[in-house]
Amino acid sequence: MKGRALVITSGKGGVGKTTTTANLGTALAMMGKKIVLVDSDIGLRNLDVVMGLENRIVFDIVDVVNGNCKLKQALIKDKRFEGLFLLPAAQTKDKTAVTPHQMKNLVNELRKDFDFVLVDCPAGIEQGFKNAISGADHAIVVATPEVSSVRDADRIIGLLEAAGLNGPQLLVNRLRGKMVKKGDMMNIEDIVDILSIDLLGVVPEDESIVVSTNRGEPVVIETTSRAGAAYRRIARRITGEEVPILSLDESNNFVDRFKKILKLAR
């Protein structure tokens, strides 16, 4: 088995890289794939708490690289899904504790046993970023519809291409349909046009993300969450399925749907 390695990156912090990694990984595992999530944010690990696996950490990525334990010993098995594993970052070291070369070897080792290796990249463009992308063969760039986030995404796309990671795909996160409709938030066309890269998917702003993160449960498990549904669709797209991108105006609330029906009738 030779799995694909995807890095989830953004440049800017706080746009949802970790949430995206946790949810895409979980969604892919729900589809029966074998998945390992790698937290490469050494010193500021968070993927473990988002996944709700923080109490089970014994060894971490730095232990593996330094040979303090075997790779298999550091992998934490998810309690909900068969085939979903986490390799946690170290919390006490810093980003120089791992080199890009070591990271590449590690990812290549993981590829042998998993369908997908998802690497959660730290914010910034320094060593942590270089580590995270070094083993990947594909990048997902997460951006929110804000000037600062799109600007950083543009810089990251340039750096990815300079590193030979061609064809990164864009995931627009936290889109607010209502604001887009009012012209107070950039729409997908604006962002794709400016960054001129392929769109992988769009995740709407959704309060259920906060609730599920509080609980340590990825939102894709919730059948009623809009963000969860969006992540599940993106996961299917990653496996090569053709899944149309939902129209942004698509609103799930009753009044809007009713309005739409009225419009159609006219």
Partner 1 sequence: MILLDVLAKMFTKESVSSKDIARERLRLVLVHDRSSVSPNFLNALKEDLIKVIREYMDIDEESLSVHLENEENSVALVANIPVKGFKRVANDVEVQA
Give backbone dihedrals phi and psi of 117, rounded to 5 degrees, phi first: -110, 115
Tell the smallest beta-carbon distance from residue 207 to partner 1 (Å): 23
Closest separation between CB of residue 87 and partner 1, Å? 32
Which residues sit at the interface with partner 1, rule CB under 8 A? 146-147, 150-151, 154-155, 158, 180, 182-187, 190, 194
One-letter amino acid at 155 equals R
Compare residues 155 and 215 and give the one whose CB is closer to partner 1: 155
Measured from the CB of residue 153, what is the shortest distance to partner 1 in angstroms?
A: 10
User: Could you tell me the smallest distance in angstroms from the CB atom of residue 253 to partner 1?
Assistant: 22
Residue 93: both structure tokens together: 């070291």
- Kindly give, in sequence order, each residue whose CB lies less than 8 Å from that of residue 258, ignoring residues fewer than 6 positions away: none
CB 10 within 8 Å of CB 149: yes
- Judged by beta carbon, residue 31 or residue 180, the one nearer partner 1 is 180
Nearest to 7 by CA among 103, 99, 102: 103
For partner 1, give the closer residue by CB, 178 or 257: 178
CA 219 to CA 202: how far, in whole Å?
A: 15
Nearer Cβ to partner 1, position 112 or 182?
A: 182
Which H helix or E strand runs over 190?
A: helix 188-195
CB of 12 to partner 1, least distance (A): 13
Residue type, 229: A
The residue count of the chain comes to 266
| Distance in Å, CB of 194 to partner 1, minimum | 6
Indicate the residue among 51 and 143 with the shorter CB distance to partner 1: 143
- C-alpha triplet 103, 50, 100: angle, nearest 5°: 10
Nearer residue to partner 1 within complex by CB, 64 or 150: 150
Cα distance between residue 60 and residue 255, in whole Å:
49
In this structure, what are the phi and psi dihedrals at residue 38, rounded to the nearest 5 degrees? -115, 120
